[in-house]
Copies of this chain bind each other. A is one copy, B any other.
Amino acid sequence: SLYAPSAVVISKTQGASADAPAQRAVTLRCLPVGGDHPAPEKACAALREAGGDPAALPRYVEDTGRVCTREYRPVTVSVQGVWDGRRIDHAQTFSNSCELEKQTASVYAF
């Protein structure tokens, strides 16, 4: 394709450490959209809005007013690969899966 490639592996695991073995992982390609992510169009749109920076996702995801409990059952997510040709190696821990979904919408919903 004409664009510098955007292709990432997004992985998820229970617990607060990025070194814990990933339990689930999906691939995501954008421009053109592809991979085995369950909602590739939405995930690509969210990452594009965040300028390809997964850490910025919470700032761009629409606040649906959803309220999460303060339960601490941490989930750690990672995004590794290239976005517009630039290498990405992002890891972030959320206090529970409700917070994860609330702050990042479709990107880690798999």
Interface residues of A in 1-31 (CB under 8 A from B): 4-9, 11, 13, 18-19, 21-27, 29
Tell whether, in the assembled complex, residue A27 and residue B4 are in contact, meaning their CB atoms are under 8 Å apart: no
Q: How many copies of this chain sit in the oligomeric assembly?
A: 2
Tell whether, in the assembled complex, residue B85 and residue A21 are in contact, meaning their CB atoms are under 8 Å apart: yes
24 chain-A/chain-B pairs, Cβ below 8 angstroms: A4-B22, A5-B11, A5-B23, A5-B24, A5-B25, A7-B11, A7-B26, A8-B9, A9-B80, A9-B82, A11-B81, A11-B82, A11-B87, A22-B87, A23-B85, A25-B81, A27-B29, A35-B35, A78-B87, A80-B82, A80-B87, A80-B89, A81-B81, A89-B89
Chain A interface residues (CB < 8 Å from chain B)? 4-9, 11, 13, 18-19, 21-27, 29, 34-36, 78, 80-82, 84-87, 89
